[in-house]
Chains A and B, each alone.
Chain A
């Protein structure tokens, strides 16, 4: 019964995007209502779907000819995260977007992006994945440029060029795979890979996929578009881009293809670990030197994505080299959990930055100060998110980082654990800097008359802050069994994915 709800995860955002553009031209309130209604309904549906597993075949055309959508543990988790962040972002948008015109365009693009992401997460077909990837990406190019200032247009152009290269590489990868195997269905390809068929064309395809998705996920050295694009967008869009877009289009797709379709070997595992470490360190050292609040946050996204890649890559490496499977599971759990946690605290940080910008009119940390007495709500949420990202217990970021560190040590990778801890420390320093310059100290003369941002924006921040505080509970045995563990198992099963999906349909 629940499987029937699955198509609506894509159909609702795409459909309402269409109707918003059509109906809400004159009335920005209607646009607000439609946008929030759409994200609220997909949040409800994604929660209803939590325990559901299965395959949905579009139009009754069975794979490998038809397109199938697969709901397993991993896609389930990422769907919930995307829906949650989208909901918070639309609540925040209702007041924040008052600064802009053409709200109907904003919500249409927003929902197109959400629909595209949900499609990427659900689809079991490579070409279908590419299509949804492009839907979400193109919508996000337009959203980055939404303010139409020269800075935003420049950032959007950079993003467009680099990201299109990523999409093209993915398309090439799809073509190569199709040429080598004759299939586009992920499960069918995985079935062939599971027989141990080694083929240079498939290796090249794998590299093209890795690079393409790494560009989408902004891993070093494929990251330079992100620090321009993410700060330039309106705050709720920044929250969406950093919070979920790079994860759904980049990291999720990369994991899905590497683990479940191509099958992970030692080289790819090492590659993920190296990319993870590189992104973590380069990102954090660049972040800590920034004075533009949102730019600082954007660099931290690169660094935090490094944690996710490192955790999962470490797990994959251990699995590929035949190490202890419980350590591998721990590493992957850490990575996946960090993905969810990062979505929550980074979106919250971007919303907080938006809230500060709304009130003070600036993003420069040096022009702020003493906001502690004027913006108590934003101060509280921003402090909670900062402690989360810095890995201070008992907030959510601590738990996932702890799991990654402990897994690295259990696997005997002391140096990796050491770097992970060092990066976490520099993250702490950089957020102490944010708190110090934004909230502590003397209030500058020209900010004497500002007010706290509107209540509805505060509500959006408070929702995410509650998750920052409470998400550690997901590790408790009960909740872990139905959200995190299935996601980990979906990756650990590797190319077994093919058998499960094909038998399910």
Chain B
């Protein structure tokens, strides 16, 4: 009986998603309510599954010779723990969307695809059959595409690119699954375990790795995320690229690195290099962005680097750290995207230069964004620090001489992240008001504020009590016990930090009360200058980075797409097409000679070979 419960989080959202398409246009509010209710039921059921014993559901569907496809669902501890988060995000973002998507032109389809993505995600985490896994995986990809198309007209670029790139990685995944079948003669995930040695297993691992890092968005398969952020609804960015796609991609990476394959040092090193390059390259791009969603999306890429780096260490603590960072990142990154959406909805712009001074008119959004920004920058005692700390230890534990380079890259990346978020916080919330932010009078409504507050609280909770999730759920899920880690008593440190901040505030207030300050109008060259014209934009300070000698070339080639596999592949494809079109000159006699040639070749072949 209890195993039938596994069907609910997968098929309920899909069924309701189909239903949503058939609700007539006139009916209002039902879609939102249905989606919220479905996400809530899925969340509760997943919680029950998570608390249950590991259960297994098996229904045979297709069996043709050696080919089979079964509805084979298994609630492994790690998978159901991550799924709990996935459905939680579904619930929060569904609530946010109810207010955020209201009034947008194509919100009607939005909830259908939203629920498909939720059901697909649940399917991926519960599937114990690789083809079933693949089908649900692809379903999430397709839902992402359609969700992005519900944005502005210019979102078509990002939607197409996302589907194309993830589609390519899904193709790799299918090939990898096929090779795995060839090596093991089974599609059952829990039955596969082989050492990644010899060219075929290594090829299979690399193909599956491409599938996972593209979904998660690591260099060099990351470019769909920044492009998608241009024009896609903020809730979509928070939901898929920031949260669910990370969970899916990194989950698969952990599965193939720990359960499905037994990796050697060199493949681990490949992962570590991908991770380190991702951290640094993406954060460099993030620093110079002017558009809030695009900046956030580059950070979404950069953070994946820590997860891949941690998993690449192949040490228990690194893998656990990578997984924990995945959860933390989904929390603060979707919080940031949702805050961005909230600001955009209120002010009508997401250009950093157009914003400013929102801290007073949107205090809750400000504080939550600040917490999330500090968390992503790895400031203790927030969750980003806790997981980065584990990743650092994992890197150190590999013990090889080169590991210092990775450590430095990771820490440097963290510093640059902080630098980048100082710009965001300053440009959006501090400084002077702009013509967009003047008219903003209050914070967003409950539906948009509640989810970000929950996420910010989770940032704090997972930072201060990080041992609880790590030791209770993640480490047992991976099947390792952690050796005692470096001394980091987060609760104690938090108390000390709070005390320090309080002391600083007291000194600041005392100083402010004792000193008298006079304000005067700006007066230059005999003329009064309007406050508006001397407004300093946060983005301005960071433009100098673009002009640094080496960096200049780097950014220039990035703008031209030299690092973008999508564009490079497009050029190759166009060249092949061009060559073929050159052969098709439209002249009948050419075509006739091809046929003639074909006949001659076939005749020779069959007469001489038979």
Chain B neighbourhood of A162, CB < 8 A: 588, 591-592, 595
Of the stretches A21-29, A182-190, A346-354, A412-420, the one at the interface is A412-420
Tally B residues with Cβ within 8 Å of A. 61
Query: Which parts of A449-504 form the interface with B (CB within 8 Å)?
Result: 475-477, 480
Pair A330/B67 contact, Cβ less than 8 Å: yes
CA distance A198 to B609 in the complex (A): 13
Docked-complex contact A410 and B66, CB < 8 angstroms: yes
A372 to chain B: closest CB distance in Å? 8
Complex Cα distance A286/B153, Å? 28
A164-220 residues at the B interface, CB under 8 angstroms: 165, 169, 198, 200, 203-204, 206-208, 210-211, 214-215
Q: How far is the CA of A169 from the CA of B160 in the complex (A)?
A: 45
What is the CA–CA distance of A44 and B295 in the complex, to the nearest angstrom?
Answer: 60
Residues of A within 8 Å of B153, CB to CB, are 370, 440-442
When the two chains form their complex, are residues A428 and B602 in contact, meaning their CB atoms are under 8 A apart?
no
Q: How far is it, in angstroms, between the C-alpha of A373 and the C-alpha of B149 when the chains are bound?
A: 12
Once the chains bind, are A204 and B603 in contact (CB under 8 Å)? yes
Cβ–Cβ < 8 Å partners of B551 in chain A: none
Known A-B contacts A207-B602, A271-B602, A414-B179; A158 and B591 likewise in contact (beta carbons under 8 Å): yes
A215 x B580 contact (CB < 8 A): no
- Complex contact B163–A428 (CB within 8 A): yes
Complex-state Cα separation, A440 to B156, whole angstroms: 6
Cβ < 8 Å to A, chain B residues 489-545: none
Q: Which residues of A contact B599 (CB under 8 A)?
A: 169, 207-208, 211
User: Given the complex, which residues of A lie within 8 Å of B131, measured CB to CB?
Assistant: 402
Asked if A441 meets B576 with Cβ closer than 8 Å, knowing A165-B592, A393-B138, A412-B182, the reply is: no
A-B contact count (CB 8 A): 166
Confirm or deny: A329 has a beta carbon within 8 angstroms of a beta carbon on chain B. yes
Residues facing B in A344-401 (CB within 8 A) are 370, 372-373, 387, 390, 392-394, 398
Pairwise interchain contact B181-A406, C-beta atoms closer than 8 A = yes
B174–A285 contact, CB under 8 A? no
Instruction: Please tell me if A327 contacts chain B, counting CB pairs below 8 Å.
Output: yes
Say which residue of B141, B577, B590, B610 sits within 8 Å of A285 (CB atoms).
B577
Answer yes or no: B167 CB below 8 A from chain A CBs. yes
Q: How long is the Cα–Cα vector from A211 to B596 in the complex, in angstroms? A: 9
Q: A421 and B606: CB pair below 8 A?
A: no
The reply to whether B66 and A285 contact each other, CB–CB distance below 8 Å, is no
Q: Name the B residues within 8 Å of A66 (CB-CB).
A: none
- The residues of A that contact B155 with a CB separation of less than 8 Å are 440
Q: In chain B, residues 171-186, which have Cβ atoms closer than 8 Å to a Cβ of chain A?
A: 171, 174-175, 178-179, 181-182
- Binary A-proximity of B120-162 (CB < 8 A = 1, otherwise 0): 0000000000010011001101100100010001111101100
- Interface assignment of B62: CB less than 8 Å from any CB of chain A: yes
Q: Which residues of A contact B138 (CB under 8 A)?
A: 392-393
Q: Does B164 contact A (CB under 8 A)?
A: yes
Q: Which of A267, A324, A390, A394 contacts B606 (CB 8 A)?
A: A267
CB nearest to B603 among chain A residues? A207
Report whether B66 and A436 are in contact in the complex, using a CB–CB cutoff of 8 Å: no
Query: Chain B residues near A90 (CB, 8 Å)?
Result: none
CA of A122 to CA of B205, assembled, Å = 49
- A221 touches which one: B179, B595, B607 (CB < 8 A)? B595
Closest partner residue, chain A, to B68 (CB atom):
A406
CB of B573 within 8 Å of the partner chain: yes
Q: Which among A208, A403, A414, A433 is the interface contact of B160 at CB below 8 angstroms?
A: A433
Contacts of B159 in A (CB 8 A): 436, 440
Report the nearest B residue to A422, measured CB to CB.
Answer: B171
Query: For residue B574, which residues in chain A have a CB less than 8 angstroms away from its CB?
Result: 289
Does A222 belong to the interface (CB within 8 Å)? yes
B487 interface contact, C-beta 8 A: no
Residues of chain B contacted by A440 (CB below 8 angstroms): 149, 153, 155-156, 159-160
Interface residue? A55 (CB, 8 A): no
Q: Is the CB of A203 within 8 A of B610?
A: yes
Q: Supply 18 A–B pairs (Cβ within 8 Å), ascending by A.
A: A161-B592, A204-B606, A265-B610, A289-B577, A333-B64, A394-B135, A405-B178, A406-B178, A410-B66, A414-B179, A417-B175, A422-B171, A428-B163, A429-B167, A440-B155, A441-B153, A441-B156, A477-B62
